[in-house]
Amino acid sequence: MTLSERNRILHLLDILSKNQKCVPKDSPEASELVNFNGFFRAGNLVCMESLVPLALRGIELGASPYTVSKFLDWRDFESLVTRYLTLSGWEAIHSLRLKSRRFELDVIGVNPVSRIGLVIDCKHWSPGYYKKTKLKNTALQHRSKVELLRDEFTFHIAKYPVLKKCVSLVPAVVTLTECVKGFYEGSFIVPIQTFRDFLNNLDIYLDEVGSNSYVRIVKSR
């Protein structure tokens, strides 16, 4: 029986995730990879730079974002979150390093209409690490990082001019699992399964939480 296209995509993700994103060039899987952006040949192998194109195709065909994301490493998980932002009309910054301490912010999405900066910490933890207390502590730490970004905001605009469009920052932790979701310790905790809904209805979520949900930017003159 021929696998459906969705199941073929999941099969490819499974194989690639277990083999450093490569398959033998004479394998049936190799002939399918050439249909996706980001493939390259390395000796007797056909490889993918990133699994995100496959992940997006799987989701487009009806696979759950959670199922697809399990096959991704943390870099691809961050790239998937970034891609979700751009597909929803946001402008995105990947890996912004704060200057006052050696912290890095995984992804920042800027909505040019609402002028909100969504500051995201991506947590691609395996099931053994999804303890609720740890995740809530992560939310608290992330809120502190976003407040540091606010304090350094003028400095970062020079490198990332898109930040000029922001009037407020919203901290969010995007997770693989659904063990915790909602607003905790000053940050939204959003499972990847519901991330697109969160983006599409962000104004509703902000209204429900109120002013505690964002960090207001005070720009120097």
CATH topology of domain 73-216: Trna Endonuclease; Chain: A, domain 1 (3.40.1350)
Strands 116-123 and 168-175: parallel
Which regions in the chain score pLDDT beneath 70?
1-3, 126-131, 219-221
Query: What are the pLDDT digits (tens) for 55-85?
Result: 999 999 999 999 999 999 999 999 999 999 9
Which parts of 19-166 fold into alpha helices (H)? 28-33, 52-60, 65-69, 74-87, 132-151, 153-157
N-to-C CA span, the chain: 67
Domain ranges (residues) in the chain: 5-66, 73-216
Q: For the whole prediction, is pTM greater than 0.85?
A: yes
d(CA 206, CA 215): 12
Q: pLDDT value at position 1?
A: 31
Q: In three state form, how does the secondary structure of 29-60 look? A: HHHHHCCCCCEEEECCEEEECCCHHHHHHHHH
